[in-house]
């Protein structure tokens, strides 16, 4: 039986009127390709369905073709309300600054993540993807990340992007406030954490490591 992974991506396309955002393409593409190489069935979804915007800064002139080739999967995604945790073996949240705006307060996403986690199914997220974990609670009302070791885009990395002033909150600080223990490597280095069924990575550079770890855990 092929393993089934649900990938949930942002629909949010602007930080300010002058600053477009969306998903960070390599965080989707590297993970998507890793899963497909292992014969997984991958479903690409988003809070509202439809188009997932790509952050233009994430598509450089030397972007590998195999990453660019994943872009068509973002043109017409399914809404997450169409799915339940029972249908999948894991959920994966790529980042991009868009997730900071439409993931944290999305109740459908919160419920989905709770159901995955409480069914002992893997919840993986990278870079700003863990923004989706900030609003998620367990059935007992506790934050899903409380007492967990996690990794996510750091406050100092955010300061280096100079976009920190426009964010609704700083992700590393928020996760710490919720009772998580955020573990980080140097800025822009590959770093990820595994705590039970939670696999989280620090930044775009950590995407492949998180995807490979998820594949390893799924066996």
What is the pLDDT at residue 25? Answer: 98
Whole-angstrom distance, CA of residue 210 vs CA of residue 193: 8
Query: Are the beta carbons of 209 and 201 closer than 8 angstroms?
Result: yes
Instruction: Count Cβ neighbours within 10 Å for each residue of 68-79 and write b for 16 or more, e otherwise.
Output: eebbebbeebee
Per-residue tokens: 197: 């069924």
Whole-angstrom distance, CA of residue 62 vs CA of residue 80: 32
Which DSSP state fits 77? B
Spans of the chain, pLDDT less than 70: none
Strand partners of residue 23: 54
Pairing of strands 192-195, 198-201: antiparallel
137-173 pLDDT per residue, tens: 999 999 999 999 999 999 999 999 999 999 999 999 9
Query: Are the beta carbons of 41 and 11 closer than 8 angstroms?
Result: no
For the question of whether the overall pTM of this predicted structure is more than 0.85, the answer is: yes
Could you give phi then psi for residue 205, rounded to 5 degrees?
-65, -15
Whole-angstrom distance, CA of residue 210 vs CA of residue 205: 10
Could you give phi then psi for residue 185, rounded to 5 degrees?
-95, -175
What is the pLDDT at residue 24? Answer: 98
What is the pLDDT at residue 143? Answer: 98
What is the pLDDT at residue 191? Answer: 98
Whole-angstrom distance, CA of residue 196 vs CA of residue 121: 10
* Cα distances (Å, whole numbers) of residue 92 to 4, 15, 114, 156, 210: 11, 23, 13, 24, 9
What is the pLDDT at residue 172? Answer: 98
User: H/E element holding 200?
Assistant: strand 198-201
Whole-angstrom distance, CA of residue 43 vs CA of residue 27: 15
């Amino acid at each position: 039986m092929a393993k089934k992974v649900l990938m949930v991506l942002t629909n949010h396309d602007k930080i300010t009127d002058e600053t477009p955002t969306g998903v960070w393409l390599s965080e989707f593409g590297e993970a998507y390709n890793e899963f497909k190489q292992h014969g997984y069935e991958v479903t690409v979804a988003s809070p509202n369905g439809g188009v997932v915007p790509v952050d233009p800064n994430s598509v450089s002139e030397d972007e590998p073709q195999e990453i660019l080739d994943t872009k068509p999967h973002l043109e017409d995604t399914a809404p997450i309300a169409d799915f339940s945790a029972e249908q999948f073996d894991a959920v994966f949240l790529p980042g991009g600054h868009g997730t900071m705006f439409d993931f944290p307060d999305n109740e459908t996403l919160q419920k989905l993540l709770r159901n995955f986690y409480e069914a002992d199914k893997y919840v993986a997220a990278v870079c700003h993807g863990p923004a989706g974990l900030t609003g998620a609670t367990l059935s007992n009302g506790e934050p899903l990340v409380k007492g967990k070791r996690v990794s996510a885009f750091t406050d100092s990395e955010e300061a280096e992007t100079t976009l920190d002033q426009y964010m609704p909150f700083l992700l590393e600080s928020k996760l710490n406030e919720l009772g998580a223990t955020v573990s980080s490597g140097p800025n822009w280095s590959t770093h990820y954490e595994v705590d039970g069924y939670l696999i989280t990575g620090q930044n775009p550079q950590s995407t492949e490591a998180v995807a490979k770890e998820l594949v390893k855990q799924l066996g």
